[in-house]
Structure 1
């Protein structure tokens, strides 16, 4: 029989056995946050920028100068010529204007950008594990409903067999009962495959050992969204990049100022018999940025354009996230209304309708097709109620990602 074949195939599916204590959503979030590579990566990048900020504020390393002066070309002797000297000195360069401070401030702004990316990565991890958890909970809830309905349709088939044997039912009714039971078995296989996929998604965040743990009977309730869209880490990233652009513009402006170098030298003659004294010298070197049209002016214009582009990127991010927020809030509100309607009206009505149809069929006042239709309506109503409840929570997950929550 087709039914036996379907059930046999179902038994061959490699479904993992549920084991261990119940896995709550809060525990799944904790497991996902632990050692998340994306968050750790941005933390390391932020720390690298902070170290670079300190380094950028320092003076360049001094240069050591060692020199042999005025060696005679015909002898290359360091002792027979009164003009030959040995000199040692040090040179220190002082960068233009406030360029060191501004370079450090720019690196500090980029450190804030990396830290904000880390905060966004943490939010994204929580959103992903919540979505995976809710998806798995949805599939397991559907499996439970289908398994309960399978026993009901099995009872329906047995009732129809007895009615057919007694002459009170037609062969078509028996075939319809078999068909609905086979279709239900096929639907079970499809949901089992979806459950396996959802479990794999959750295992990505909590590990395979915890993904096979049982889940609570009721779907979890999430916190109410709290906060402001402007406080989102992605916008903090763009704002930090804008700040870095401001520092970059001021840093480029320092190119119009001179750069200074100071050099101190100490020299001694190689021929000591002449009584010549040692020599001490100092030198100051100054860059003269006199021709700025093709370099400094161009660099400044380029930095201004980069800063404006960063500001436009912030504006674009705000608009896109506001669109996402408006759409998500609208869907969330409507789904909340639908969830209440299913809980308060549709589910009780579908159950009462199915029970009344069964009672009428047993008493001969309702035909077989009406009875089957009532059972299918109840099944679809229960399935849709699970979908609506899950979808409402998924929209709330997105709202919590966008607005944040009180923790």
Structure 2
């Protein structure tokens, strides 16, 4: 951001200087150029004055509007609404009937047998089918709630990984930038030694080569930083990623939960429970379904003294032949529940494998990180300083000095990579085991 703003300022200054021979005088051009340069000098300080983006702040922003989490919440709400609907009786049916109309006349006023009937019919579903259908929908609502919790965990894992990736690239950039003056000094020392006859042309070319390679590593790391910025901006937005990051690596919470409490397993278990309710719902198919009908009839021919009439009717379907329907439905429900149970066991095994592998890598990386901090980095720094001192005193040759500097640089970058990888493994552990809120 500072670099871009500085470039924009310089372009404006150059344009003014180029236009100096026109309508503005030389003195005016110089004054405006000096003013723009003064403003440009404030750009780095303004960026540094921006509050740094901590990992906890990035997580908070990512939680505000995660579409995946909200999608599963809406699905859960839809299932809860369906559960209420499934527990209700079917809508009653209105019956309007013209009864016993004469075939030859199709008139209703002159026939004493014709009646107008008005009634209502209510159907009562089989056994406890309404209760079991409602419980099945409620279990599926719990599955969607669990998927929503898993989506939130997955979002936290993604934003943490993106944040750590960006922090890693910026830390590597800082190391490379700090190493650049050392390699520039190496080139200057080699040029003086070459001019004095104490170094050959190959040493001079090697110094130039290492400086160019360092510049190439800077460009490559900047490209990777841009990719990491794009990943993090997907979760926190462009304004947040424009803020600087803290210099120290963030420390993550310790995993506190158990694998069996993971939302994915809770979702699979809810599907198993829904399958159990589905079995009970299929068993209701062996019970009869009832319908009750009440009607009121009145004759169409008046003056005959015929009274109005009322009727009541009860209808019951008889599930006598169950082999090809009820038996098949029950068998299908049992197979579906068994399949859901196998899916739960498969999910447990896969997640246990991921947990074992992640814990093993995390412990190994933790040990390696301690080794870099306590031994490798101090040794590489001391070795480079000793090599530089020897090279200046002509007791160490050029190749050994360059190798020492490269070892120090690579050790620092490797240490940053190990610290990042260890935290990435911990991010996966937090996804699998959970953490205290």
- TM bucket, shorter chain: over 0.9
In the other structure, the counterpart of 2:155 is: 125
Aligned: 1:152 with 2:182: yes
How do 1:47-62 residues align onto structure 2 when only pairs under 5 Å count?
Answer: 47-62=77-92
For the pair 1:178 / 2:211, whether they are aligned, the reply is: no
1:315 shift after superposition:
0.2
Report the counterpart of residue 4 of structure 1 in structure 2: none
CA deviation string 1:170-189 (max 9, x = no partner): 11111110000001111111
Q: Number of residues paired by the alignment?
A: 394
Residue 41 of structure 1: aligned partner:
71
Partner of 1:322: 352
Q: Deviations over 1:324-359 (max 9, x none)?
A: 000000000000000001001100000000001101
1:361 and 2:391 correspond: yes
Which residue of structure 1 aligns with residue 253 of structure 2? 223
TM-score (norm 1): 0.95
**Residue from 402, 407, 411 that aligns with 1:381:** 411
1:235 aligns with 2:265: yes
Of 166, 173, 197, 1:167 maps to 197
Which whole-Å CA distance do the structure 1 matches of 2:104 and 2:316 have between them?
37
Alignment of 1:281-360 (within 5 A): 281-360=311-390
Show CA shifts across 1:29-84 (max 9, x none): 11111111000000000000000000000000000000011111222222111111
Alignment TM-score, normalising by the size of structure 2: 0.89
1:114 corresponds to which residue? Answer: 144
Q: Deviations over 1:340-392 (max 9, x none)?
A: 01001100000000001101111111111111000000000000000000000
Name the structure 2 match of 1:104.
134
Shift of 1:212: 2.1
The within-5 A match list for 1:238-249 is 238-249=268-279
What SS is found at the alignment partner of 2:303? helix
Give 1:83's match in structure 2, choosing from 92, 113, 131. 113
> What is the root-mean-square deviation of aligned Cα atoms in Å?
1.3
CA distance, structure 1, for counterparts of residue 389 and residue 183 of structure 2: 15
Higher relative contact order (CA 8 A, sep 6+): 1
Q: Residue by residue, what CA displacement relative to the aligned partner does 1:138-192 show, whole Å, maximum 9, x if unpaired? A: 0000000011111110010011111111112111111110000001111111111
> 1:227 deviation in Å?
0.6
SS of residue paired to 2:282? helix
- Please list every run of 5 or more consecutive structure 2 residues that lacks an aligned counterpart in the other structure: 1-6, 9-43
Cα distance in 1 for partners of 2:103, 2:324 equals 44
C-alpha distance in structure 2 between counterparts of 1:128 and 1:318, whole Å: 22
**Other structure's SS at 1:297 match:** helix
Match status 1:260 vs 2:290: yes
